[in-house]
Amino acid sequence: MNVLVACEFSGIVREAFRTRGHNAWSCDLLPSEKEGLHFQCDVLNVINKNWDLMIAHPPCTYLTVTGNKWFNPEFENRFPNRKEQRKEAIEFFMQLINAPIKRIAVENPIGIMSTLYRKPAQIIQPFQFGHEEAKKTCLWLKNLPLLIPTKNVEPKYTVFKSGKRMATWYCDAVKLPKDERMKTRSRTFQGIADAMSEQWGKL
């Protein structure tokens, strides 16, 4: 199949599909971390190139519910353009999900698109695919079956004095420089990429 992995700089999903013989390309404004077939541009510039499948990872900064607090009035002076940025993020999400491609998967954390668009087809966790990390990931699917978990493992959490717990890998990422922290939190886990290529690559 001709596969487009939209908004992917890591090359993880792209290479999982290429390993199984597909003509897979990634696309992002950033260069690819892994050597391979990569468009470094706005994905909307290449979205009409006769793709059979698109897996898209649109930026979640303005869509996730964890960022809702920054829309409160007391932060208006600090983030004066946030409402417009959220509007643009919503429009971009919808351009991806409505792209002229037969099979589409759009992933994002828990966020506002569950209300503004529709509830996701499913919510997956890395620990369902062989990783110790916990990270709720929504999948909006078109003409694709639900992703079947491949290996359930016990996730690791860090518990704070307050009793609040957080995924250990997410806590550890705080120690990284901002740019690397954002990249670490946005990379697709290998087990999920492998499941996508194995299960959706057979359709």
pLDDT at 82: 75
pLDDT tens, position by position, 28-62 = 999 999 999 999 999 999 999 999 999 999 998 88
Q: What is the pLDDT of residues 155-196, one digit of tens each?
A: 999 988 888 888 888 888 778 787 887 788 889 999 999 999
Mean pLDDT for the stretch of residues 141-149: 98
Contact 45, 52 (CB under 8 A): no
CATH of 2-200, one of 2.60.120.380, 1.20.1640.10, 3.40.50.150, 3.40.920.10: 3.40.50.150
Full-model pTM? 0.90
Where are any strands of DSSP class E within the chain?
A: 2-6, 23-28, 38-40, 53-56, 103-108, 122-124, 137-142, 157-159, 165-167
Does residue 73 or residue 133 have the better pLDDT? 133
Q: In the predicted model, is pLDDT for residue 70 greater than 80? A: no
- Looking up tokens 């503004």 gives 116
d(C-alpha 55, C-alpha 6), whole Å: 6
Residue 167 to residue 158: CA distance in whole angstroms = 6
Q: Which residue has the higher pLDDT, 5 or 68?
A: 5
CB 73, CB 24: distance < 8 Å: no
- What's the pLDDT at 38? 98
**Domain ranges for the chain:** 2-200
Pairing of strands 137-142, 53-56: unpaired
Residues in the chain: 203
Supply the pLDDT for residue 129.
Answer: 98
